[in-house]
Amino acid sequence: MSVTTKKCFLYILLALFFIPLIVANPRGGPGNDNDDNGNDGGHDGDGDNDGDGGADNDGDGAATNSPAGGAGGASANLPGTNSTGLGGLQGDMQCPGSELMCVTGIVNGSSITYELQSTGVQPFGWMAIGFGTQMPNTPMVILWANADGSITLSQRQAPAQVMPTPVANPPKVATAVPQLSSLTGSQPKVVFTIPGTASLTNLIWAFGTTKPAEPAGSTLLQHIDSGTFTLDLTKTLPGGVNGTAGINGTSSALPIPKGSFTIPFLPYQKLIIAHAAFVSLGFLILLPSGVLLARLSRTYNNKWFKGHWIIQFALAGPVIITGCILGFIAVNAQGGGETHTNHKTIGVVLLALYIAQCALGAFIHFVKIRVWRFNRPPQNYYHAILGLTILGLSFYQAWLGFTQEWPNSTGRPPVIVAVAYIGGLAYYLPRQLRQEKKSRRRAERPVSIRSNNASDYEEIHELNPNATRFMVFNGNRYRLES
């Protein structure tokens, strides 16, 4: 055998050795042949990539996959992919809407491989696409990363613009591909495959910044933006395009938004903001202010009642009613259907309690019951207890609104009002009781008081229907003749 023949034979052997390694190496990162992770690229015959925790479609429309970035199984390989990119492959790529994420669809025989990558403008909580033109009744595939580096895939559907729930038997079963996914860096991407053909495909998309828990059926907090777009999977990807890797600077097809980034509010979201502003003003500012006015000023004079009812009824009433109406309109505009939440239920209860409290206050003021043996009739105590109940429930309701109904704006209840009331109750209530007791002791005999100065007659008190009427004159209390 000549030297030339030996060299050719050696080159052929080297090529046969290195070509499989090059083809098997995924674009998501360097290969990992650690047998402890079981990434041997094979199949165990039950639909799972052996050892990599691939899709386990157990009927709940969801799967959790092992950490991404290892050497891929056979199902993860895309034909013709190499270090030069996806040029020449059949598929399409778009960065829809506000460019929070980019989507690449690649035709792979009878299935489509979708890559969803964050542009890094907002923190990656979860990304989703759906196969349709609107959210209601559209099959969706939602993916997010877990703390251990694994990927959760959840197939869901929603009857309206509400949180989608897992589907037991989706029309097409999606399989996450952790081998081609990359969760490191500021622009993570997640990949999945689903049966499909090359066609003009209408899709919806959504991007959330709050990461759900690992189980595929976990509560999904509302997206910060969403929309529709179209992928023409009959096209051929141009040369130089590295799929979503182009975001990292290898392609100008996927630009990163420059400058400030703002997400426009949807019409129903603007209604929710207006609703929150009105009911917060009514329940968290006006009502507590009226309570504090009554609690803190009643120990000094009897003029507190006028300010109390003006704040609680004349001012707070229109504000609260307007806020509740805006809430009902927002729910209808959102298209939530008959979906009930704790926030909505408590809101209706609070409105009913507020109306009942106003009616009870008017009854106490205008209707005097003279058969009560103690200093105050029972409705006075009911009025105080119901008022405190409304305030406490209002704080809890506001917390629910911020943390559940508007998950992208979190907050805590305004505890300063509760602290002020409790402090005033602890200090001023004993003072009030002492003053009332002292005034009853002074009312021992009738007196006649005359003065040409009308300001001397500060006020006339009537503690309850059975109590003796008395007058405050120059700081002293005197019983009036009957």
Amino acid sitting at position 150:
S
Query: Over pLDDT 70: what percentage of the chain?
Result: 56
- The mean pLDDT of the chain is 71
Least confident interval from 251-265, 315-329, 417-431: 251-265
Tell me what the mean pLDDT of segment 211-224 comes to.
84
Decide if 84 contacts 78 (C-beta within 8 A).
no
The better pLDDT of the pair 462, 353 is held by 353
pLDDT of residue 40: 37
| Cα end-to-end span (Å), the chain | 138
Give CA–CA dist 458/9, Å, rounded: 117
Give CA–CA dist 256/32, Å, rounded: 31
Tell me what the mean pLDDT of segment 248-263 comes to.
47
Closest alpha carbon to 196 in 272, 143, 129 = 129
The matching CATH number, chosen from 3.40.630.10, 1.20.120.1770, 1.10.760.10, 3.90.550.10, for 267-439 is: 1.20.120.1770
Give CA–CA dist 192/64, Å, rounded: 12
Decide if 168 contacts 60 (C-beta within 8 A).
yes
pLDDT of residue 370: 63
Confidence of residue 114 (pLDDT cuts 50, 70, 90): very high
Look at residue 27 and tell me whether its pLDDT is greater than 50.
no
Closest alpha carbon to 117 in 93, 133, 138 = 93
Residue 263, Cβ density class (10 Å: 0-12 exposed, 13-18 middle, ≥19 buried)? middle
The better pLDDT of the pair 9, 382 is held by 382
pLDDT of residue 44: 39
Phi, psi of 189 (to 5 degrees): -135, 150
Q: Give the angle 80-85-87 at the CA atoms, nearest 5°.
A: 70
Least confident interval from 95-109, 113-127, 278-292, 298-312: 298-312
Residue 312, Cβ density class (10 Å: 0-12 exposed, 13-18 middle, ≥19 buried)? buried
Tell me what the mean pLDDT of segment 211-223 comes to.
85
Decide if 15 contacts 23 (C-beta within 8 A).
no
Confidence of residue 272 (pLDDT cuts 50, 70, 90): confident
Q: Per the structure block, which two tokens stand in for 448? A: 């006649």
Closest alpha carbon to 254 in 267, 266, 265, 241 = 241
DSSP state of 368: -
Burial 118-131 (b: 16+ CB within 10 A, else e): bbbbbebbbbbbbb
Q: Give the angle 62-65-67 at the CA atoms, nearest 5°.
A: 155
Tell me what the mean pLDDT of segment 222-227 comes to.
84
Q: Per the structure block, which two tokens stand in for 4? A: 């030339």
pLDDT of residue 2: 55
pLDDT of residue 295: 76
Look at residue 9 and tell me whether its pLDDT is greater than 80.
no
Domains of the chain, by residue range, sit at: 3-248, 267-439, 443-482
pLDDT of residue 161: 76
Look at residue 457 and tell me whether its pLDDT is greater than 70.
no
pTM greater than 0.85: no
pLDDT of residue 6: 53
Least confident interval from 74-83, 162-171, 332-341, 425-434: 74-83
Tell me what the mean pLDDT of segment 72-77 comes to.
37
Least confident interval from 149-158, 172-181, 185-194, 401-410: 401-410
Tell me what the mean pLDDT of segment 417-432 comes to.
57
Look at residue 275 and tell me whether its pLDDT is greater than 60.
yes
Query: Over pLDDT 90: what percentage of the chain?
Result: 31
Burial 33-66 (b: 16+ CB within 10 A, else e): eeeeebbebeeeeeebbbbbbbbbbeebbbbbbb
- Residue in the block written with tokens 């081998």: 179
The better pLDDT of the pair 219, 340 is held by 219
pLDDT of residue 282: 92
Look at residue 380 and tell me whether its pLDDT is greater than 90.
no
Instruction: State how far the alpha carbon of 321 is from the alpha carbons of 273, 280, 307, 414, 472, in Å.
Output: 15, 12, 20, 21, 40
Task: Indicate the CATH number for domain 3-248.
Answer: 2.60.40.1210
Confidence of residue 230 (pLDDT cuts 50, 70, 90): very high
The better pLDDT of the pair 430, 9 is held by 430
Phi, psi of 29 (to 5 degrees): 155, 180
Residues for the chain: how many in total?
Answer: 482
Decide if 223 contacts 212 (C-beta within 8 A).
no
